[in-house]
Amino acid sequence: MTVTRKIGLSLGADICWPACYEQIVDKLALAIPWQGDTVNIAVERVTIEPFDLQQPCQYDVVLDRLTHWYHTSREWIKKAILMDGLYVLNNPWAVQSMEKHTSYCAMMKLGMPIPTTWMIPPKAYEPTPDLAPTLKSYAKLFDLGAIGNAIGYPMFMKPYDGGGWRAVSRVADESQLRKRYEESGKGVMHLQAAVNPFDSFVRCIGLGPQTHLVKYMPDEPLHDRYSQEQNFVSADEAKLLEDTTLTINAFFGWDFNSCESLRKNGVWHPIDFANPCPDSQVTSLHRHFPWLVKANIRWSVFCAVTKKPMRKTLDWEPFFAVDPEMPYRERLSAYAKIAAERFETARFEEFCAKHLPHLDEVAWEFFGTEAAKTAFRAKVTALFPKHEVEQFTELFWRRVQAWRSDTQVSVK
């Protein structure tokens, strides 16, 4: 029997990757033999509308980009996971409740070298009825200078639930610390020792069991932060960074997430890894953009065709059961093994080899077409002033074409 599995794209301001994703899936013309059936894939954009909690969901997999801020979609997704067996990237309960703070605590407990981090009560409050008695009875006066000395300078002050570089500041000394705290208002802040100086900064993007390392240049303008450099880490470091990301992603049920790590004295310190709606735009990713689109297709098609069950609870116990006395790299391998089980890495790789062998070539061809360029231009138009649109469309186009030239041999 021929059956169709439906993949829904739950989108906000994304323009470029969905257009490329849809067109490449279309060109793949999938008819996958699976357990006696022939499985086709249909891709559709999810609309926002009222829903009956009992109404069935037409999708098998949803790629979601709204959960972290658009609550109607998030709650529709929760209903569909619980009631209709939907598989979603990412687990909406984990997106909602696991802020940066929880991610630091959990990964410190697993032994990752996260820099020393403190939380401090906020400087200002929303006046609520219980506030005055609570603070009067229990809030202890504290010496910010002493905390600063305990952490050491420079440090970073940043929101415990941060994202998008909001309210992040570098603090060089005690007077700056006091000033920044005065300015922090109602924000609940972390103070985190700077990894200083660092000699390399890497973002590792994880999508299901797939990973991609990018050298990151935080001081460059947005379109140059993801560097085009390659081979910037040793094979051993790459494995460490990949296993770190897969551990975090499996732990939190974030199939799609990115992990930032800084290297100092040969040690990689993860500093920001609660990013469950990573940047997916060609305007930041350029050369790395085709990887993202292909990884998204592989993982979503695998989950849709195999009807991979969504893990509704996170089940952290197996991670904590790994012997904390073992050397760190052995522990990390043990965590990565749990991740490989949860992401079904071996089964996924076999599936891709058997059912998606033409993806690389189809995508390689697509990223050389006018249709791809049109998708790039649409995103550039949304972000850049009118007089820069052509110039930046060309820039991102050229970088993707450079990727095509570099990968031509392996694809053709």
Q: Tell which one of 126, 143, 165, 327 touches ligand ATP (CB under 6 A).
A: 165
Instruction: Compute CA distances 395 → 76, 222, 282, 367, whole Å.
Output: 39, 13, 11, 14
Q: Which does 349 bind (CB under 5 to 8 A by kind): Mg ion, ligand ATP, none?
A: none
Shortest CB 115 distance to ligand ATP, Å: 5
Q: Are strands 87-89 and 61-64 parallel, antiparallel or unpaired?
A: parallel
Out of 205, 272, 302, 305, the residue judged to bind Mg ion by CB under 5 A: 272
Structure tokens at 256: 């799609």
List the single partner that 168 binds among ligand ATP, Mg ion, none, CB under 5 to 8 Å by kind.
ligand ATP
Candidates 4-12, 234-242, 257-265, 300-308: pick the segment binding Mg ion (CB under 5 A).
257-265
Chosen from ligand ATP, Mg ion, none, partner binding at 121 (C-beta under 5 to 8 Å by type): none
Q: How near is the Cβ of 144 to ligand ATP at its closest, in Å?
A: 18
The Cα–Cα gap between 103 and 273 comes to 7
Q: Which residue, 195 or 332, is less far from ligand ATP as judged by CB? A: 195
d(CA 31, CA 65): 27
Q: Are strands 210-215 and 200-207 parallel, antiparallel or unpaired?
A: antiparallel
CB 114 to Mg ion: min, Å = 13
Residue number with CB closer to ligand ATP (8 or 276): 276
Nearer to ligand ATP, 111 or 318 (CB): 111
Which partner in Mg ion, ligand ATP, none is near 25 (CB below 5 to 8 A by kind)? none
Among residues 18, 92, 115, 253, the one that binds ligand ATP under rule CB under 6 A:
115
Q: Per CB under 5 A, which region of 121-129, 253-261, 335-343, 383-391 contacts Mg ion?
A: 253-261
Distance between start and end Cα atoms, the chain: 34
What is the bridge-based pairing of β-strands 87-89 and 210-215? unpaired
Q: How far is the CB of 197 from ligand ATP (least distance, A)?
A: 9
Instruction: Pick the binder of ligand ATP from 205, 207, 271, 400 (CB under 6 A).
Output: 271
Residue 148 binds ligand ATP (CB under 6 A): no
Compute the least distance from the CB of residue 94 to Mg ion, in Å: 18
Among 151, 177, 195, 356, which residue sits at the site for ligand ATP (rule: CB under 6 A)?
A: 195
Which pair of tokens denotes residue 154?
């420079």
Between 192 and 306, name the residue whose CB sits nearer to ligand ATP. Answer: 192
Residue nearest ligand ATP (C-beta atom): 272
- The binder of 218, among Mg ion, ligand ATP, none, by C-beta within 5 to 8 A per type, is ligand ATP
272 binds ligand ATP (CB under 6 A): yes
Q: Which stretch, 150-158, 239-247, 255-263, 349-357, contacts Mg ion (CB under 5 A)?
A: 255-263
330 token code pair: 């052995």
Total residues contacting ligand ATP by CB under 6 A comes to 18
Specify the residue, 127 or 164, whose C-beta has the smaller distance to ligand ATP: 164
Q: Tell me: does residue 166 bind ligand ATP (CB under 6 A).
A: yes
Q: Which residues of 276-310 are buried (b: 16+ CB within 10 A; e: fewer)?
A: bbbbbbbbbbbbbbbbbbbbbbbbbbbbbbbebeb
Exactly one of 85, 218, 324, 368 binds ligand ATP (CB under 6 A); that residue is 218
Does residue 164 touch ligand ATP according to CB under 6 A?
yes
Enumerate binding residues for ligand ATP (CB under 6 A): 115, 156, 158, 162-166, 168, 192, 194-195, 218, 260, 262, 271-272, 275
Enumerate binding residues for Mg ion (CB under 5 A): 260, 272
